Every structure is written in structure tokens, then in C-alpha cells.
A and B are shown apart, each in its own frame.
Chain A
Amino acid sequence: MAEFLGINLFGLFGQLLVGLINGSFYALLSLGLAIIFGLLKIINFAQGAIYMLGAFLAYLALQYLGISYWAALIVVPLVVGLLGILMERFLIRPIANEDHLYSLLLTFGVALVLQGLFTHLFGSSGMSYPIPEAFSGGIKLPFMYLPNYRAWIVVASLVVCVGTWWMIEKTKLGAYLRAGTENPALMQAFGINVPLMVTLTFGFGVALAGFAGVMAAPVYSVSPDMGSNLLIVVFAIVVIGGMGSIGGAIITGLGMGIVEGLTKYFYPEASNTVIFLVMVIVLLIKPAGLFGKEA
């Protein structure tokens, strides 16, 4: 029945869906990285650990405070964003004038501390987070079974990504942000509080990772190293896409998720490495990245 040119459509669509879901998380994380990079010119190595933190906070909130998934979806990004603001204000700003490699090392240190802390507290085995009731069950499509929660992940991340893109590219606030990316000194001269903007931007970029963490909690097991492995893949994606454009980060993230899904179906042995191989090819052909501007 579900065969076409010798391809098992059931399996293919299943893997495509998994790819699309992974791609949603890639997009959310690389979007956060790109926004932070735009203003601060640093890469937040702690982005993966913060994604992990988001998932754990959602888990703990449900377990000990009875805070539901829906509330966590709002509260956790706020809490995580606040932590990001404190991190920018007290750790990153003091060394803002040093070589940017130092701030990279600093965020790496933060990532180690967070991951070490959660490994120590909860061990390295994963916890499971129940799928919210509104999304239990799924829809039967002609070629596949689509669990409701998975559909929700794709829709919700798309909404958040497109919303962020719209805010940055189309609103006045976004115009400030883009101007700050181009020339922060001139912005300051026009009377705009650039340091405050930098802090809030960092908070927002980090909050996106927290949001992704809450979204991920019901589908992946909540474990201390869930973020670090993901982050390295996201780095490869950032190199593939280049950090020149917000839209580019979103498209590359989703696209690479799909590429990974397809590889899982056609040649599963390479599914872990395919994104890195794509990075190698992009480095050979267009070193600045698909959407990169710099030489």
C-alpha cells in the first residue's frame, strides 16, 4: 500500500517528521545564537546548557510546584531570560572590551558549571516529562501517524521563529537592534541606551533556548547532557548558514533537520555525521556560509 518507487512512505514520512522536529530545535537555538552574535559579537557556548536548564526547570516545576506545561512555557523562558540578563551584566560585560575569545571561554565555563551541577544533582540518566493532555493522541494521515504534540512543536517553533524575524526586520524596536548591530557608538550618540539594549538582547536570545528546552522536555528525555550534543550540531548549522541574517538562521536550522531526517531513512549510519559533512562541503564551496555576508 504505502510504497512508491520502492520507498516505504510510512518510514520516510516518519523520519521526515523527526527531522522537522529536530530542525525546529536547531532553528530556535541558532536563532538565539544569531541574535546574540549580532549585537555582542560573541557566541554563547552556554546556549545548550541553558536549553537543558529550560527542560529541567519545566520538569522540576511540574514535579514540585505543580506548574503545568502551559504555565512553564511562559514562566521558564522568563526565568531563564532573567538569568541570562544577570549573566550578561555581571560576567560578560566586565570583559566586553577584551578579545571576544575570552567571552567565549567564559560562557563555556558557565556551560560546564551548569551541566556539572545538574549531573551531580540528578545523575546522567534521563527523566521523562508527560505529554500535556491537550496533545495526547494523534491524527492518522494517509501515509503516516502524526502525534499531536509533535505537530505542535513544529507549529509553535515556526510561530516563535517567524514572530522573532518579524520583530527584528519589521518593527521599530527591530530597527534599533539592526542599527546597533551596524554601529553601536552612533546609536549611543543618538541617545539610545545601548548597554541596556545589549543586556535585553542577550536575555531574549537566552530565553529562546529556555523556550526550546520546555518544548523539548516531553519528546526527549530530560538529561544533563541533552544540550551539549545539540549545541555542537547547532554550531555546525551556524557555520553552514552564516550568521549574517535572522531568516537564514531559521531556514538553515529547519533545512538541516530535514536533511538529517532523510539521511536517517536512506543511510542511517551517517545520520549523526551528515550535518558536519554538509558543513565541510559549504566550507569548501562558500566559506562565508550560505547566508553569510563577510568574506
Chain B
Amino acid sequence: MKISKLSIVLLGVALVAPFVMYPVLLMKILCFALFASAFNLLLGFVGLLSFGHAIFLGTGGYVTGYLVMNSGLSPLLGILAGTAAAAALGAVYGKLSVKREGIYFAMVTLALAQLMFFVFLQAPFTGGENGLQGIPRGFLFGFIDLSDNLNMYYFVLAIFLFGFWVINRTIHSPFGQVLKAIRENEPRATSLGYNVNDYKWAAFVISAALSGLAGSTKTLVFQLASLTDVHWHMSGEVVLMTLVGGMGTIFGPLVGAAAIVGLQNFLSGGELGNYVHIIMGLIFIVCVLAFRSGIVGEIQKIVKRNFS
């Protein structure tokens, strides 16, 4: 794979960033950037709008949180277990939801996510409304203390880079090309002999697993797993991040996640804190009406127009 100059610059920025900005905020951005990228794999590259993706984020978080807290699992194994749980749930939910298309797909994923929301609400091991609190970050490989924010930051960055690499490999693989073909013209892909639903399902599982990875990591960062992560609001937020950044672009979800998390952080500090949902809603409306390509999409258009 070719590594562009842009990627090297971005990596440089990411390595220096914690010395300039608050590391916890940066880690939050990285987790959501991974979550949004995983979501974008489905929406941007297969054309499937999942409205229940928060459930994979939250499942990863709860499973990691519970195991690290109660079974004394190491952080790495905890994250692996959380990711595996999200992948397993994604395998089941994917099988069910790829049976329907378009708007129905969105409704099915939302309803399935709500089903699991109630399970987490009532199950004895999730702590109900309080969630799981005080989850220890532990020691990576037994000797790197993750309670140090800087150590944790580089750990999160490594996880993010791994997830982002998986998504990139998927998009640029022959498998990814078939996904794009399905997005562009599904009957044609079928007539070429591809089992469209199997491809959609595989993409769904990858997306769910990486969402779970993001959720597991986020749980360790904040030492908390709660119902917020599995609520439909969260599913809406990841749609918004992808939309704002530019769906179907590689870097769009990163930019979108940084923009939305940054905005939320900014709003919650000031007197506009009560207006967060209204502002999110307005951004949704404005983006859909006038700004459908998103930030990265618009930049790409300008670059294309002027430099090629």
C-alpha cells in the first residue's frame, strides 16, 4: 500500500498532539474517529445506512468493562473479548438486517439495537442506569501503566491505527471493489454472480467488530461503560460525524469525529450546553440540504476543480 504524504503529516501531528492538547479529549476523538470510520465502511462503501450502530460500540464497552473489572483480564485481552462480542452480535444482526434494503434496513437496525438496549438496561451485570464505573485501565503487557494518560494515549493511537489500517485494506481489496459495485448497482453485481447478501453481511460484521473495538477502547479510556453508549442518540451521532466529514471518503469520518467531539466539548463548557441536541439537529438539516459531500468531500471537489 502506498503511504501518502498526507498520512505521514497526520501521523506526525498525532504523535506530537498530546503535548499540546488535553490527551483525554484526543483519545475520545480517536475512539470516535475509529467508530465513524467503521460505520462509514457500511454507509459510504456499501450504501447501507445502519441506524443502530451504537449497540456494537456499547456491547464492546460493556463486555470489556465487565471482564476487566470482574475477571481481572488484562486490558489487551479485555479489548479483544469486547471486539469479539461485538463481532458476534454483528454476525447475528447482520444476517437479519441484510434481508431488507434502504429505508427498511435503517429501521431494522434501529429496532434490533433497541432490543439489545433493553437487554442491557435489565441485565444484572451492566449496572442498569448507573452503568459500570471505575473500570481499571490496568497494565499493558503487564508493565506499561495505562493509568498514565500519555501511555494510554499512545496505546489508543496504536489501536486506532490498526483499525484504520484494517478499514483501508478492506476498501482497497478485491472484496472492497465488490462492495462498491454493490453500492453502485446491486442488480448488476448479482447478475455478475456475486452473492450480494453475503458480501453485505461480511462488511456488516467487519464494521460491527471495529465499532466494538472503538467501544472497548473508549471504555478503558473513560473507565466507564454506560447506557449512553447503546442509546439511539449515539447511533445518530455517528451518522452525523460521517455526514459532516464526508461519507464515502477515507478521512471524512476522522474530520467529522474531530469536528463533532470538539463542538460538543466546546458547547458543554459554555452556556450553550443546553442546546447541544438542538444544534446537532440543525447541523443535520443544514448538511443534508446544502452540504451533502461533507468537509472532506467538498475539499476534494475544490482540489479536483483547481489542480487537475
A residues lining the B interface (CB < 8 Å): 37, 41-43, 91, 94-95, 98, 100-106, 108-117, 119-120, 228, 232-233, 235-236, 238-239, 269, 272-273, 276-277, 279-280, 283-284, 287
- Map CB proximity to A onto B237-272 as digits: 1 under 8 Å, 0 otherwise: 001000100000000000000000000000000000
Majority secondary structure of chain A interface residues (helix, strand, loop or mixed): helix
Cα–Cα, bound, A109→B110 (Å):
16
Chain B residues, CB < 8 A from A119:
277
Chain A residues, CB < 8 A from B282:
109, 113
- Map CB proximity to A onto B259-291 as digits: 1 under 8 Å, 0 otherwise: 000000000000000111111111111011100
Set A106, A116, A233: member contacting B288, Cβ < 8 A: A106
Residue of B nearest to A94 (CB): B289
Instruction: Determine whether B100 belongs to the interface, using a CB cutoff of 8 Å to chain A.
Output: yes
Residue of B nearest to A240 (CB): B111
Set A109, A112, A228, A279: member contacting B111, Cβ < 8 A: A279
Looking at the assembled complex, report how far the CB atom of B302 sits from the nearest CB atom of chain A, in whole angstroms.
Answer: 21
B residues lining the A interface (CB < 8 Å): 49, 96-97, 99-100, 102-104, 106-108, 110-112, 114-115, 118-119, 121-122, 232, 236, 239, 243, 274-285, 287-289, 292
Set A41, A91, A102, A113: member contacting B292, Cβ < 8 A: A102
Set B115, B119, B284: member contacting A109, Cβ < 8 A: B284
Chain B residues, CB < 8 A from A235:
107, 110-111
Q: List 19 A-B contacts (CB under 8 A).
A: A100-B102, A100-B103, A101-B103, A102-B292, A106-B289, A109-B283, A109-B285, A113-B285, A116-B275, A116-B276, A116-B280, A119-B277, A232-B232, A233-B111, A235-B111, A236-B114, A239-B100, A279-B112, A283-B97
Looking at the assembled complex, report how far the CB atom of B51 sits from the nearest CB atom of chain A, in whole angstroms.
Answer: 8
Majority secondary structure of chain B interface residues (helix, strand, loop or mixed): helix
Looking at the assembled complex, report how far the CB atom of B171 sits from the nearest CB atom of chain A, in whole angstroms.
Answer: 20
Residue of B nearest to A120 (CB): B274
Looking at the assembled complex, report how far the CB atom of A181 sits from the nearest CB atom of chain B, in whole angstroms.
Answer: 15
Set A43, A115, A116, A233: member contacting B106, Cβ < 8 A: A43
Cα–Cα, bound, A160→B106 (Å):
29
Set B49, B122, B278, B292: member contacting A104, Cβ < 8 A: B49
Chain A residues, CB < 8 A from B232:
228, 232
Set B106, B118, B278: member contacting A101, Cβ < 8 A: B106
Cα–Cα, bound, A106→B274 (Å):
22
Known: A98-B292, A109-B281, A112-B236. A283 touches B103 (CB 8 A): no
Chain B residues, CB < 8 A from A112:
236, 277-278, 280-281, 284
Residue of A nearest to B104 (CB): A239
Looking at the assembled complex, report how far the CB atom of A253 sits from the nearest CB atom of chain B, in whole angstroms.
Answer: 15
Chain A residues, CB < 8 A from B276:
116
Residue of A nearest to B111 (CB): A236
Looking at the assembled complex, report how far the CB atom of A268 sits from the nearest CB atom of chain B, in whole angstroms.
Answer: 11
Chain A residues, CB < 8 A from B106:
43, 101, 104
Cα–Cα, bound, A119→B70 (Å):
37
Is A283 in contact with B114, judged by CB distance below 8 angstroms? no
Is A276 in contact with B112, judged by CB distance below 8 angstroms? yes
Cα–Cα, bound, A283→B112 (Å):
11
Residue of A nearest to B92 (CB): A280
Looking at the assembled complex, report how far the CB atom of A227 sits from the nearest CB atom of chain B, in whole angstroms.
Answer: 12
Looking at the assembled complex, report how far the CB atom of B195 sits from the nearest CB atom of chain A, in whole angstroms.
Answer: 16
Chain A residues, CB < 8 A from B285:
91, 106, 109-110, 113
Set A114, A232, A287: member contacting B110, Cβ < 8 A: A232
Is A116 in contact with B277, judged by CB distance below 8 angstroms? yes
Residue of A nearest to B48 (CB): A101
Looking at the assembled complex, report how far the CB atom of B278 sits from the nearest CB atom of chain A, in whole angstroms.
Answer: 4
Chain A residues, CB < 8 A from B239:
105, 108
With A101-B102, A105-B243, A232-B110 given, name 4 new contacts (CB 8 A).
A95-B288, A105-B288, A109-B282, A280-B112
Known: A100-B103, A112-B278. A239 touches B288 (CB 8 A): no
Chain B residues, CB < 8 A from A37:
103
